[in-house]
Structures are given as C-alpha cells and as structure tokens.
A and B are shown apart, each in its own frame.
Chain A
C-alpha cells in the first residue's frame, strides 16, 4: 500500500520530463504545477471544478487539476499547456481569434486537444458536450468553437 504522510518528495512525469516536487498529500495538482514547479500556464480560476481554467491532460484525458491530488497521478503522464507548442489547434485559436483576455485559453486548448485526439470527427453534440466543461468570462464562445472546428477542418477529417 502506498502511503504519503506529512511532506514528501514526489516524482511526476510532466510534458515528457521527470519533475520532482516536495508536496503535502493534500496539495492539489493545480497548486503543485503552479507553485512548486513554476508551470503557471495552467490557470487558477474558481478552484472549485466549475470553470475549467485549470484543465490539464492526465494520460491524455482532460481533468480539472484543482479537483485532484498531486499524489494521485505519480504514475501518470501529465501534459500542461507548456507541453503543447505550435499545434494546429493553437494556430487555429490564433487565426480564428479564439481568445479575448486569454485566461481561459490554456484550459480550452488542453480540453480540445484531448477531444481531437479522442475523436477527430466529433458530432456537434459531442463537441458541445466537451467544450461545456470550460467557462470563458469574456463570453468568447463562438470564437472558441470556430477555432476548434477550424482545426478539425484543417485535419480534413470533419464530417460535413
């Protein structure tokens, strides 16, 4: 049985690198990413699982990093926005003005990256269901949806 008591050194695989951090068992992954490892691209919004600004990928699945403990994911592969560079989806966000203030963008990009990986040809219903996990307080939802659809079309795989 694995046990963590008090503070402990934790080894995490993040963006293809092994990173070590001293954590408390009750530290959320979000806090460890930002405050111990300096990966501040992952944003802290509501810290209550509502806004999705803290979305990262754990073994390719989008999760809200404010809602899980860092010690839970020690054997997983974690991808943050820092690990996503110049992807077609990010280019589509830039081309289609998929952001306004940009605070929610890392979460949306992480989530939509997983969607494109999970299903390169999602129905509108599936796309809407996935994107509903993230909030944009600038209300730039149309631009965000347009960006994701542009990335899908760029893949040439989207159903007409």
Chain B
C-alpha cells in the first residue's frame, strides 16, 4: 500500500504534460512524470519518493513511438522494455533490457523510466551511451534534442519540469558489432554484479558498464585503454580498471575485488573474441 495520497493526471499531449507539471509544481505538489510506475509505486510504498502528483505519460503518442524513421530508430520513453526487445529494432538494447527485472515487470517497466530512474543500475542506458543516442526533451523552455552524453553523467540531468520524450539512435549503430555480458550473484532476475555492453564502430571498441560502480558509465579514458591495440588484452583490461571513474561497488552481492575480476574477465574475453573474428 502506498501510505499517502497523490493526484493522478493523465495528459494526452506533451504540452498538457509539461503544463501539468508546472501547475502541480507551483501548487507545491512535488510532481513526478510517471511511466510504467514500477519504480515510483514501489519507492512510494517505502517512502523513498513521496510525490504529491504523478503525471502518467503513457497516453502521449510521441512517448509511445517505436519505429524506424529515416536513419533513426525512434524509441518512445513510455514504451515498455518487452516491446523494445520483441521489436528487434536495436539488438544490443534488446539484450541489455532483457536483463532488467523479470519478464512480467518488463511489460510495464519503460525505457524512459529506466533511464531517468533512481536505481544504481539502469542498464537500458548502456546501449544509448554506446550508440550516442540523442534524447528528445521537452520542458517549460521548449524542446531540445541533445546527445545523451551531454545530459547523462551518473544520472540523467534534466531541467526542472523537463520530460524525456524519446531516444533516437542511428540505424547504422544498431547494426554494428556488439556484445553484452551480464553476471549475477544468484538468479538471473537479480540486480547485476556487472552488466557490460560493447559496441564496435569504425574499428574502435566502446564499452559501458553498470553494477560495477554506483552508477552506469561510459568513459573516454577507459575506452582509450581498451583500444591500445599494441598491448595484450590482459594489459588493456588492467589499465581500464585503473582508469575507472569511481569506486567499485562493494556490498553483500559482491565484493569490489570480485566485481573488478568479472569486469576484467569480460573485457579480456571480448577483446580476444572481437579481434579474432575481425
């Protein structure tokens, strides 16, 4: 049971959603945009969040789009992860998303909710970082389309009242060579010890990871280490570990030492596999 009341608003357009956010905000209701609800409902039950208003974006047509438009794959923020997986439009994203929660939850859990959420994992963001997706954001100051790396650093940094409407990824990047490896302590539906995505573009290997640090990341220095092709895969992996942009997580699921070991092993295997078959 959610132990408090809130106002529920279900706009039909982006404009309605943005003004509903502004109005409820002015009224001191501390609103949240609401996608599948999986995180907001469970966090509300635990009083981790306590919105006075939720603005359900699932009826907004642009937020529900899932299609190829010209050179881009358009991924609406309110599209449930299972629909993205089944569409086959972005195989790396499909694989990364298939590790999140479980099949039933993924019928509700949305792309936007995962990317903009508060959990430390947010694995759906990894393929978007790797493919350098553009995000369509609409807020009180209008609409902007920005590269994800400009607005995602540890978390999605939106302006007050701004709504994530869509992610757009170039079709060509969705067809590039990729690999995604996820390791859990127990069951596959558990949070990951590490979840690591790779994308090879123009002969360069990109890497993004979740579970390893307190936030999902893609880091230029780590990638430089990965692409020092004169060194062995092991040396590159050791160097990548030294350049991580944060402390490795150390908790009851897995020690920092173990997570580092898994990350190193996944890098070595991927570099060797990619280079063997190229």
Give chain A nearest CB distance to B22 CB in angstroms: 13
For A31, the chain B residues whose CB sits under 8 A away are 1
B251-277 interface bits toward A, Cβ cutoff 8 Å, 1 = contact, 0 = none: 000000000000000000000000000
Stretch of A11-19, A66-74, A84-92 lying at the B interface: A66-74
Instruction: Tell me if A24 and B7 are in contact (CB < 8 A).
Output: no
Given contacts A26-B4, A26-B5, A132-B103, contact A1 B41 (CB under 8 A): no
Instruction: Tell me if B42 and A5 are in contact (CB < 8 A).
Output: no
B47-66 interface bits toward A, Cβ cutoff 8 Å, 1 = contact, 0 = none: 00000001010100000000
- A111 interfacial contact with B, CB 8 Å: yes
Instruction: Tell me if B37 and A133 are in contact (CB < 8 A).
Output: no
Instruction: Tell me if A72 and B37 are in contact (CB < 8 A).
Output: yes
Instruction: Tell me if B41 and A25 are in contact (CB < 8 A).
Output: no
Chain A interface size band reads 20 to 34
For B141, the chain A residues whose CB sits under 8 A away are none
CA gap between A130 and B82 in the complex, in Å? 11
B1-42 interface bits toward A, Cβ cutoff 8 Å, 1 = contact, 0 = none: 110111111111000100010000000000000001110011
Given contacts A67-B42, A68-B37, A68-B41, contact A132 B102 (CB under 8 A): yes
Instruction: Tell me if A49 and B10 are in contact (CB < 8 A).
Output: no
In-complex Cβ contact of B108 among A25, A68, A132 (8 A) = A68
In-complex Cβ contact of A1 among B16, B38, B44 (8 A) = B16
CA gap between A129 and B94 in the complex, in Å? 14
Instruction: Tell me if B10 and A2 are in contact (CB < 8 A).
Output: yes
In-complex Cβ contact of B5 among A24, A52, A63, A66 (8 A) = A24
> Which B87-109 residues sit within 8 Å CB-CB of chain A?
98, 101-105, 107-108
Give chain B nearest CB distance to A44 CB in angstroms: 9
Instruction: Tell me if A132 and B187 are in contact (CB < 8 A).
Output: yes
CB closest residue in chain B, given A59: B107
In-complex Cβ contact of A27 among B2, B16, B42 (8 A) = B2
Instruction: Tell me if A25 and B107 are in contact (CB < 8 A).
Output: no
B193-212 interface bits toward A, Cβ cutoff 8 Å, 1 = contact, 0 = none: 00000000000000000000
Give chain B nearest CB distance to A56 CB in angstroms: 10
Given contacts A25-B7, A69-B41, A133-B102, contact A63 B107 (CB under 8 A): yes
Give chain A nearest CB distance to B21 CB in angstroms: 12
In-complex Cβ contact of B107 among A62, A71, A129, A132 (8 A) = A62
In-complex Cβ contact of A72 among B7, B56, B187, B189 (8 A) = B56
For B104, the chain A residues whose CB sits under 8 A away are 52, 55, 62-64, 111, 130, 133-134
For B175, the chain A residues whose CB sits under 8 A away are none
- B67 interfacial contact with A, CB 8 Å: no
CA gap between A31 and B11 in the complex, in Å? 25
CB closest residue in chain A, given B2: A26
For B102, the chain A residues whose CB sits under 8 A away are 52, 132-133
Given contacts A49-B42, A133-B102, A133-B104, contact A25 B6 (CB under 8 A): yes
Instruction: Tell me if B5 and A3 are in contact (CB < 8 A).
Output: no
- B45 interfacial contact with A, CB 8 Å: yes
CB closest residue in chain B, given A115: B103
Interface residues of A (CB under 8 A from B): 1-6, 24-28, 31, 47-49, 52, 55, 61-64, 66-69, 71-72, 111, 129-130, 132-134
A-B contact pairs, 17 of them (CB 8 A): A1-B20, A3-B7, A26-B4, A26-B8, A27-B1, A28-B41, A55-B104, A61-B107, A63-B104, A64-B104, A68-B36, A68-B108, A72-B56, A129-B98, A130-B104, A132-B187, A132-B189
